[in-house]
Chains A and B, each alone.
Chain A
Amino acid sequence: MEIMRLVVTGTVGAGKSTFIRSVSEIAVVDTDRISTDQTTEIKKKTTVAMDFGRLQFAPEMALHLYGTPGQARFDFMWDILIRKAHAYILLVDAHRPSDFRSARKLLAFMKQRVDIPMLIGLTHRDCEGAWSEENVAIALGFVDEKTRPPFVSLNANEKDSVIDTLIVLIEHYLNCVVKT
């Protein structure tokens, strides 16, 4: 079985779960586990919440989509998840500038660990007060237009919009492979 792993990360409420649900052929799985971590005994149970979706498009070929937990808690799970990923999407809510700094932190965390193709997906662009793609790019630190990853405005609720985003990412992935 050949699998491509795609991580969908982003700020809280940006639409990670919705994004995966919109294209997954299976009901999205939330993974919860009982903690064996002695340091968290007080809590007894910890949740490793992660959305999982799948898109099988050939008998031996599938795209797996992993949604990272909403809260900014970077644990071992994250590390495993992104080190096994082939590409990732960072979803950013364009009408919540208060989250741009969190998005930068996520980017820094990812960049420190992996150098894989990625795409920035902007959601809520139709909301009042939403920032333009250009301005969000600058706010996220992508000042130079030439070295920016692809930016896509999308509606995570719409399957076609999500598929369009995936197409841009796959095309970008192929370009990156050609360059290397």
Chain B
Amino acid sequence: MAITSCLSEFSLPELFQFLDQGSKTGLLTLRFLTENQEKRVRHVLLHQGRIVAVTNRLDHQCLLAMIVQRGWISPEVLREQVNRCPANIPIGLYLKTQSFLQPEQLRLLFHAQVLRQVCGLFRLREARFKFDTKATLPTTEMTGLSLSATEATLMGLRVLRDWVLLANKLPEPTSALSRVVIGKRHLRLDSVEGQVWQRSNGSISLNTMATQLKQPIEIIQQTAFRLISVGLVQEVPMMTAASRSKAMAEDVLEPVAAGTNHGSKEENGSEVSPSFMQNLLGFLRSSK
């Protein structure tokens, strides 16, 4: 089933986190307008949560054109090699094994085709997106290299200057962070990220971190958002400092007591008896 929405609803970091954690394979298409109101499209090809290519059209020729443009292989030879390349092998990998391309050339292609393009996507003010799991991924657009979607997020957000679009996604200054471990991750954190990570114990608010690290709260919020987006930590809201008495709060908790003659005697958090549960289950089943 295809997923469609827009970035103002579900931001790119959220989307990439979803695609990575879900190990999704498919074609992500983003449609947007440039500042001059020109229509643009970007296609992000994902295999098991990793970005394998980014293109601006679906004629399966983008990577091949880049190779020819750089004068690394002639169009004729390339066409011949494309025909010989097995259908399930990325063309970049095939050309490397056939000694037409060196590993460094593949890295340069991947940098231009994926890394540079992906970072630009985080600057989009708005875009409609569609993720289609049924789309066929063209191997002629693949170098054989890949980047996890959340690593792309870390890169993209580190160089992002205008955070206005993500302002309502940032964790609250009053929230704390707690660590999350989903699979094994080996992300290299920068200095502030590392310091925020160390303080992610579920009890230190972002405000306190900002004071301790002598950083503006916005920087700490943005850093925290990066760590959240790559699945290293989660935001834990802290209670507001309302000084309502416990007795009053407990009074509010039992509004029914005023309307019935039953006195509630049970202890806080006490277990309910097995007979209670069986009775409740029977009652619910018979209520339908």
Which residues does chain B contribute within 8 Å of A29, judged by CB atoms? 255-256, 259
Tell me whether B287 and A163 are in contact (CB under 8 A): yes
CB A124 to nearest CB in B, in angstroms, measures 14
Tell me whether B237 and A170 are in contact (CB under 8 A): no
Tell me whether B252 and A1 are in contact (CB under 8 A): no
Q: Is A12 interfacial (CB 8 A cutoff)?
A: no
Which residues does chain A contribute within 8 Å of B262, judged by CB atoms? 1, 60, 62
Q: Is B14 interfacial (CB 8 A cutoff)?
A: yes
A73-92 with Cβ < 8 A to chain B: 73-81, 83-86
Tell me whether A80 and B9 are in contact (CB under 8 A): no
Tell me whether B280 and A74 are in contact (CB under 8 A): no
CB B130 to nearest CB in A, in angstroms, measures 11
Q: A31-B255, A98-B9, A98-B10 are in contact. Are A83 and B268 (CB under 8 A)?
A: yes
Tell me whether B239 and A80 are in contact (CB under 8 A): no
A100-147 with Cβ < 8 A to chain B: 100-101, 104-105, 108-109, 112, 129, 131-132, 135, 138-139, 141, 143
Tell me whether B248 and A131 are in contact (CB under 8 A): no
Tell me whether B1 and A74 are in contact (CB under 8 A): no
CB B183 to nearest CB in A, in angstroms, measures 8
User: Roughly how many angstroms separate A68 CA and B172 CA in the complex, as a whole number?
Assistant: 20
Which residues does chain B contribute within 8 Å of A85, judged by CB atoms? 269
Q: A104-B235, A132-B1 are in contact. Are A1 and B264 (CB under 8 A)?
A: yes
A27's closest neighbor in chain B, by CB? B259
Category for how many chain B residues contact A? 35 or more
CB B205 to nearest CB in A, in angstroms, measures 12
User: Roughly how many angstroms separate A76 CA and B253 CA in the complex, as a whole number?
Assistant: 11
How would residues 21 to 47 of chain A score, 1 for a CB under 8 Å from any chain B CB and 0 otherwise?
Answer: 000001001010101111110000000
Tell me whether A1 and B263 are in contact (CB under 8 A): yes
Which residues does chain B contribute within 8 Å of A129, judged by CB atoms? 4-5
CB A152 to nearest CB in B, in angstroms, measures 14
Tell me whether A39 and B242 are in contact (CB under 8 A): yes
Tell me whether A33 and B248 are in contact (CB under 8 A): yes
Q: Is B18 interfacial (CB 8 A cutoff)?
A: yes
Which residues does chain A contribute within 8 Å of B256, judged by CB atoms? 26, 29, 52, 54, 64
User: Roughly how many angstroms separate A135 CA and B234 CA in the complex, as a whole number?
Assistant: 19
User: Roughly how many angstroms separate A162 CA and B173 CA in the complex, as a whole number?
Assistant: 36
B285's closest neighbor in chain A, by CB? A167
Tell me whether B284 and A31 are in contact (CB under 8 A): no
Tell me whether A77 and B249 are in contact (CB under 8 A): yes
B239's closest neighbor in chain A, by CB? A74
Q: Is B281 interfacial (CB 8 A cutoff)?
A: yes
Q: Is B279 interfacial (CB 8 A cutoff)?
A: yes
Instruction: Pick the most buried of B22, B180, B255: most chain A CB atoms within 10 A of its CB.
Output: B255
Tell me whether B284 and A163 are in contact (CB under 8 A): yes
Q: Is B84 interfacial (CB 8 A cutoff)?
A: no
Q: Which among A35, A79, A101 is the interface contact of B169 at CB below 8 angstroms?
A: A101
User: Roughly how many angstroms separate A98 CA and B273 CA in the complex, as a whole number?
Assistant: 40
CB B127 to nearest CB in A, in angstroms, measures 14
Q: Which among B1, B202, B242, B250 is the interface contact of A75 at CB below 8 angstroms?
A: B242
Q: A2-B266, A50-B252, A61-B276 are in contact. Are A170 and B243 (CB under 8 A)?
A: no
Pull 12 A–B residue pairs with CB atoms less than 8 Å apart, ordered by A: A4-B277, A33-B252, A37-B243, A57-B283, A64-B256, A84-B268, A97-B9, A98-B10, A108-B235, A135-B22, A167-B284, A177-B274
Closest A-B pairs by Cβ, 7 of them: A57-B283, A138-B22, A97-B10, A1-B262, A98-B9, A75-B242, A80-B249
